[in-house]
Amino acid sequence: MSKPIIRVGLSKEPVSLDDVAARLARETNGLGAGSLVVFMGFVKGVVDGYKVNTLSYEAYEDVALKKMEEIAREEAAKWEKTYAIWIIHRIGVLKPGDPTIYVFVVAEPRHKAFELASRILDRVKHEVPIYKLEAREDGEYWILGDHTRVRRGEELQEAEKR
């Protein structure tokens, strides 16, 4: 089988799902592929009952890209009938409803495409050095790790008291 189409990126602009889907369908159907799974994350307008104004993403860019590519290659290697994996993460200041991350997987059979997309997303969220600052109506929060929101400035004030 030919090598899967792998692409990773950090993007300040949104990505056209139509363009990517058309391209992947065009380039993989001749190999016997017919299943594309796309995950698109978008900024929640409400978190913990508070209105969100913006969500700002920053990446440690070189390492983030290297890690995203590593994840894509490792996951592609786990299943032979993987035809394409694209991972694009947004950076910059985003508003509610704006796309934050895109994962595209073409694989057969379709259940494998779902499984791969889901696992890739988990890995990207946990392994790639990308950081969020959530600006809500009740203040700004750094988001760290799986669950933790640290109110901006609070941790620093506590550190100063130590």
Number of residues engaging a copy of itself in binding (CB under 8 A): 38
Instruction: Please tell me the distance from the alpha carbon of residue 31 to that of residue 9, in angstroms, as a whole number.
Output: 25
For the bound state, the minimum distance from the C-beta of residue 20 to other proteins, rounded and expressed in Å, comes to 23
For 124, residues 6+ apart whose C-beta sits below 8 A from its C-beta are 68, 71, 87, 89, 101, 103
**Nearer to a copy of itself among residue 30 and residue 157 (C-beta):** 30
Residue 121, H or E segment:
helix 110-127
Instruction: Please tell me the distance from the alpha carbon of residue 147 to that of residue 15, in angstroms, as a whole number.
Output: 28
For the bound state, the minimum distance from the C-beta of residue 69 to a copy of itself, rounded and expressed in Å, comes to 22
Instruction: Please tell me the distance from the alpha carbon of residue 142 to that of residue 59, in angstroms, as a whole number.
Output: 14
Taking the alpha carbons of 134, 97, 14, 121 in that order, is the dihedral positive or negative?
positive
For residue 109, whether the previous peptide bond is cis, meaning omega lies within 30 degrees of 0, is yes
For the bound state, the minimum distance from the C-beta of residue 19 to other proteins, rounded and expressed in Å, comes to 26
Q: Which does 17 bind (CB under 5 to 8 A by kind): a copy of itself, other proteins, none?
A: a copy of itself
**Interactions with other proteins, residue window 11-70 (CB under 8 A):** 58, 60, 62-63, 66
**Nearer to other proteins among residue 21 and residue 133 (C-beta):** 133
Q: Which does 156 bind (CB under 5 to 8 A by kind): other proteins, a copy of itself, none?
A: other proteins
Taking CB under 8 A as the criterion, the residue among 121, 133, 135, 150 binding a copy of itself is 121
With CA atoms as reference, report the closest residue to 81 among 54, 113, 58: 113
Instruction: Please tell me the distance from the alpha carbon of residue 73 to that of residue 76, in angstroms, as a whole number.
Output: 5
For the bound state, the minimum distance from the C-beta of residue 44 to other proteins, rounded and expressed in Å, comes to 10
Contact residues: a copy of itself, CB under 8 A: 16-18, 21-22, 25-26, 29-47, 96-100, 110-111, 113-114, 117-118, 121
